[in-house]
Amino acid sequence: MAADVASGTFIGAVGADSQGKQEIEPKLLATATLVVDVVEQCAEIGELQHALAGGLMTREQVHAELADVVAGRRPGRTRRDEITIFDSSVTALQDVAAAIASTRRHAPRDAEQR
């Protein structure tokens, strides 16, 4: 719920991955800086679906898609007190990219040289 979230909080919302599923109060989603994996997919099966259905926000009010933040086309957090939410509707390509990045980052140095 919006009243339970302190300023400066980041929420990674990964549980809403089908129509009707919900973890976050739509009001919180509408008042936070929202980044989604894919706008159209989140509008159908992510947390975004509930904020849209409640008339609390539009697709155009989504801050960015994750790819735009990663590529530097849109900023991520811009203020320390900003509540930011990532609405993930489980995009396989991004899951693979995250796994590769994590593996590279955490691989032993000698494994990278082979």
Three-state helix/strand/coil letters over the chain = CHHHCCCCCEEEECCCCCCCCCCCCHHHHHHCEEEECCHHHHHHHCCHHHHHHCCCCCHHHCCEEHHHHHCCCCCCCCCCCCCEEEECCCCHHHHHHHHHHHHHHHCCHHHHCC
Domain ranges of the chain: 8-112
Q: Which residues of the chain have pLDDT under 50?
A: 114
pLDDT at 104: 79
Opening angle at CA 33, ends 7 and 64, nearest 5: 155
Distance CA 27, CA 107 (A): 41
Global pTM? 0.78
pLDDT at 97: 66
CATH number of 8-112: 3.40.50.720
Chain-centroid distance, C-alpha 17? 12
Structure tokens at 2: 């919006």
